[in-house]
Amino acid sequence: NAGVTQTPKFRVLKTGQSMTLLCAQDMNHEYMYWYRQDPGMGLRLIHYSVGEGTTAKGEVPDGYNVSRLKKQNFLLGLESAAPSQTSVYFCASSLGTSSGNEQFFGPGTRLTVL
């Protein structure tokens, strides 16, 4: 099993450009999450999904959109990138929330917005 994979690994954008980050998991997990990691701030939840076709806002959703058309994929979109969105983005998935199921993380995407 590949676990959680993210595409691309690195990306540089100019302000105002758009892009989509792809997350895929092969563990048949219901729940998927997008986080951003900034120095000294830990991980902050952007959006999450509790199943195919459903999405919800997390702690810092502004400037991002998501879609979960297939159970195994969770896409994060930036419609008009801003320098404040320079960050490392992590996708995660989990089996569910009962019994405290842990989240499994992808390797991350390092995004720089100039």
Partner 1 sequence: AQSVAQPEDQVNVAEGNPLTVKCTYSVSGNPYLFWYVQYPNRGLQFLLKYITGDNLVKGSYGFEAEFNKSQTSFHLKKPSALVSDSALYFCAVRAPGAGSYQLTFGKGTKLSVIP
Least CB distance from residue 19 to partner 1, whole Å? 20
> Which ranges constitute the DSSP H helices of the chain?
none
Member of 2, 62, 69, 99 binding partner 1 (CB under 8 A): 99
Distance from the Cα of residue 37 to its chain's centroid: 11
1 near partner 1, judged by CB under 8 A: no
Under rule CB under 8 A, how many of the chain's residues touch partner 1?
28
Q: How far apart are CA 27 and CA 25, in angstroms?
A: 6
Stretch that binds partner 1, among 17-25, 43-51, 61-69, 70-78 (CB under 8 A): 43-51
Stretch that binds partner 1, among 12-20, 65-73, 77-85, 94-102 (CB under 8 A): 94-102
Q: How far apart are CA 83 and CA 112, in angstroms?
A: 7
Member of 26, 97, 112, 114 binding partner 1 (CB under 8 A): 97
Q: Which is nearer to partner 1, 20 or 37 (CB)?
A: 37
Residue 89, C-beta contacts closer than 8 angstroms, at least 6 positions apart? 6, 21, 34, 35, 36, 37, 46, 76, 108, 109, 111
Q: What type of residue is 37? A: Q
Member of 12, 16, 59, 80 binding partner 1 (CB under 8 A): 59
